[in-house]
Amino acid sequence: MKNRYILIIGAAILFSSSYFLHAQEECRVLIWSDEFNNAGAPNNQNWTYDLGNGDGGWGNREVQFYTNNSENVRVEDGNLVINAIKNNGGQWTSARIKSQGLQSFQYGRLEFRAKLPVGSGTWPALWLLGESFSQVGWPACGEIDVMEHVGKEPGKIHGSLHTTSSSGNTQNTGSTIISTFGTEYHIYSVDWTPQSITFKVDDITYYVYAPNPKDADNWPFNDKFFFIMNIAMGGNFGSDPQYETGGARNGIDPNLDFAEMLVDYVRVYQELTEAPPITGDSIVESFAKGLKYSVPIEGGSFNWSVPEGATITEGQGTSSITVDWGDTAGEVSVIIGGDCGIFNTSLSVQKKLTPIGPSIVFDNFEDGDFSRWTSEAGNGNSFELSEENGELRIIYNVSDPGQNPRLVFDLGQPVDVTTLSQMEITAKTNNTSGTVNMRLDLIDATGIETNATPVFKLEPLVDNGEYHTYTFNFKGNYGSSSPNAGAFADSTAIQGFKLFIDYGFFGSPGLDTIWLDLVEMLNPLATNTNELLNGGRINIFPNPARDVVNILIDGPMELKGNNWQLDLFNIQGKRMLTERLNNGVMRKELDVSILEPGLYLLKVSNETNQFVTKKLLIE
């Protein structure tokens, strides 16, 4: 069973000092850990590998070959398992895993709970290297050896620092004796502050490094460091001279063919100076069940609150809750109490819209409100917007297209457009300047844009002063090139779009006017035509309608053998009513008197998945 050190943060009531991790004056909390509870390969969100010759350019003259094979490294029975194995040819394989580029930390208590390998010639290490290693190299990046043990000196645990002023056979080192290193788990740790690094085994201090004065040569420990865990075999430090041959540092007990290190966990604790973040989904669907929210703290009091309509189903009073969401956005928040103060932290949660209809209208310009459109024209460029008669007029004056002048449209909430991948924009221009061109990029809730090739370019626009509908299917085209090269916008959480006008490489200075009539996304399988298969047609009258609307399916006799369904959706994709036409019935009168005036979408479908959509305006 894993030991857990519990720390309280904050308090509305008094708690005993047993909650403290080390001393009463400290208020440290667990900010990150890998508990190695999921069997298989090490978590690739935390760990990667050094592979190949163990010497690896370090000059340690180690003899093993590092692999990522499961026989050398895996997670099993709640432990990270690293095995050094001698094959039939006498070659040793082992593993070295690291958190470089994935997890790195600056200051705090860093600890490993581990059981070490036994045997002369083994050289296990639990250590950290400065994140600047790839820029400045070693030893300038700094190295913190939390635990090193060489099997030729059983039980002698070393803690060392390597810096520019003392590296290799460093003078900045200490040691202690742990006789049960190979039969029992022990906690190997450092307490790292801006002033000192203190080495401990099972919370007992055996070495403190605190140079004074500090400079770049003796204290490269003001930056982030990443973890490394490995078993080396032989080498300058690990080789046992009595077994060496040919002048090589290959002194390993010839009777040894296997060595194993078990790591129960790696943990990082840091002093609490501000409210910790809440982790959990920040974008949710209406009425989603079983959502998890937590803070990285154990112990203390926790008073959670959620928006109206949401329900905490488990965990109130603890550091982690389960929530069944309602139908509104809002904040998940918690007041954390303990001996060290009171902390209040929150997470803003947006409600995601998942349209169930065949289309969602982003803007139809019927309400006179264009506040969701903002201008990012750049210096020397301008946009003038006005909305009337169901259209948006854009008068633009672009003197510097290189600034990518654009309008940004915000949906107000994330929208799942996965099945509505076809974007349609209805626009007109006279193009009197001869410069009009546009481009449209979707933006997801994290800010990733669909600006990788291909993109939705509206160029050249038809310049006859009549409305034309321009379309683009984003399916497979959600890639981003800037500033998130290689990323993909999340089609399940689109927040809005950018409409570029006379932009960049394609643009030229100009003054002109563009009108927009409709911006929507729809299912590319849906059409806005009267045509059905086999020559049938859908007729809607009157349109616009007030109280009632008639739907007529007109066509050959074979169409009458279908059971038709009529679904009316608002422009947000919410189904407002459903009616069925029994076999042989081809006409239906719909009562729409209870619906608010506005634009609606009528979907007419049958059991063979044949369907069309029609726009219906209710006055």
How many whole angstroms separate alpha carbon 323 and alpha carbon 235?
54
Q: Please list, in sequence order, all residues whose beta carbon lies within 8 angstroms of the beta carbon of residue 386, skipping any fewer than 6 positions away.
A: 392, 393
How many whole angstroms separate alpha carbon 89 and alpha carbon 371?
74
Q: Which two tokens stand for residue 548?
A: 């009632």
**Count of C-beta atoms within a 10 Å radius of residue 547:** 12
Phi, psi angle pair for 258, to nearest 5°: -160, 135
The catalytic residue among 62, 111, 131, 148 is: 148
Q: What is residue 367's three-state secondary structure?
A: coil
Residue 302's DSSP bridge partners are 336
Going across the sheet that includes 575-581, the strands are 575-581, 564-570, 598-606, 611-618
How many whole angstroms separate alpha carbon 270 and alpha carbon 226?
15
> What is the Cβ-side half-sphere exposure of residue 476, based on CA atoms within 13 angstroms?
2
Burial state string for 75-86 with b = 16 or more CB within 10 A and e = fewer than 16? beeebbbbbbbb
Q: Which two tokens stand for residue 160?
A: 């060392």
DSSP string, 442-490: EEETT--B--SSS-EEE-SPP-SSS-EEEEEE-TT--B--SSSTT-B--
Going across the sheet that includes 537-541, the strands are 537-541, 548-554, 587-591
Contact 588/581 with Cβ under 8 angstroms? yes
Nearest CA to 586 out of 603, 604, 613, 568 is that of 604
Place of tokens 């958190």: 99
Q: Which amino acid makes up residue 25?
A: E
Contact 54/64 with Cβ under 8 angstroms? yes
Q: What is residue 306's three-state secondary structure?
A: coil
**Residue 271 is a catalytic residue:** no
**Residue 384 is a catalytic residue:** no
How many whole angstroms separate alpha carbon 483 and alpha carbon 497?
15
Residues belonging to the chain: 619
Identify the burial level of 258 via C-beta atoms within 10 angstroms of its C-beta, where 0-12 means exposed, 13-18 middle and 19 or more buried.
Answer: exposed
The catalytic residue among 62, 111, 131, 143 is: 143
DSSP string, 16-34: -GGG-SS-TT--EEEEEEE
Place of tokens 């459109």: 373
Identify the burial level of 251 via C-beta atoms within 10 angstroms of its C-beta, where 0-12 means exposed, 13-18 middle and 19 or more buried.
Answer: buried
Q: Please list, in sequence order, all residues whose beta carbon lies within 8 angstroms of the beta carbon of residue 273, skipping any fewer than 6 positions away.
A: none
How many whole angstroms separate alpha carbon 467 and alpha carbon 469?
7
How many whole angstroms separate alpha carbon 313 and alpha carbon 320?
11
**Which of the residues are catalytic?**
143, 148
